[in-house]
Amino acid sequence: MKTLAIDTSTDTLGVALVDEDKVIGEIITNVKKNHSVRAMPAVETLLKDCGMKPKDLERIVVAKGPGSYTGVRIGVTIAKTLSWSLNIPLVGVSSLEVLAANGRFFDGYISPLFDARRQQVYTGLYKYEDKLVEVNADVNILNEAWATQLKELDQKILFVGNDVPLHREVLTHILGEKACFSEIVTHNPRPSELALIGMNKQPEEAHSLVPNYIRLAEAEANWLASQNKMSER
């Protein structure tokens, strides 16, 4: 099953082509540049370099959030458009699940982490049991509250992600030696892992797939708050 995976949910842009038994190609960059002008050219470059055409694709897999509001929306829009125009199945996968897959050789719990500003994080809890299993659903939570919750497990926790250094002090203070931190080579979500996960999930209707922001974008939240205040006058 020739699968194209697309992840634009963070600063890391990733696209991959994966078949049943091999990773055909993969492009990953971790720079603060606009995904809206780089994502489709990356897809086109990957297809060309791998000697494939869009009509050769059999499935599209996309990281559907949480993450950057704009970034998630870009990836989901591209994936839905390709799925609809090529008439092939589409699968949406948690962006945190993709990142958690980098801890496949860790014997314990895995907490992928994206910064959500104001001491908050997007995170979840996963563990490998032959395959990656979700232990705690993805949440938007204060870093201190998350660490306190994890402390009750009394188990080693592997934290993964480019934003982990922003919260390392708090995590270490509360969890002590139970807090483990992955090497920088595992901090970028890998689109090949995204493809592998998506190849084993049920497709969904392209028009019904929506981003999972977990919380409202700040601009939208502020707008709703202002509307509520106006209605109360």
Q: How many CB atoms lie within 10 A of CB 89?
A: 19
User: Residue 214: its pLDDT value, please?
Assistant: 87
Amino acid, res. 15: V
* Of residues 36, 139, 43, the one with CA closest to residue 96: 139
User: Residue 5: its pLDDT value, please?
Assistant: 98
User: Residue 215: its pLDDT value, please?
Assistant: 75
What does the DSSP 8-state code read for residue 204? B
User: Residue 174: its pLDDT value, please?
Assistant: 98
Residues 6+ apart with CB under 8 A from 58: 1, 2, 3, 88, 89
Contact between residue 109 and residue 134 where contact means Cβ atoms under 8 Å apart = no
Distance CA 4, CA 81 (A): 13
Long-range contacts of 72-78 (CB under 8 A, 24+ apart): 72/8, 72/9, 72/211, 72/212, 72/213, 73/211, 74/8, 74/35, 74/36, 74/39, 75/6, 75/7, 75/8, 75/9, 75/35, 75/39, 76/209, 76/210, 76/211, 78/6, 78/8, 78/39, 78/40, 78/43
pLDDT < 70 positions in the chain: 216-233
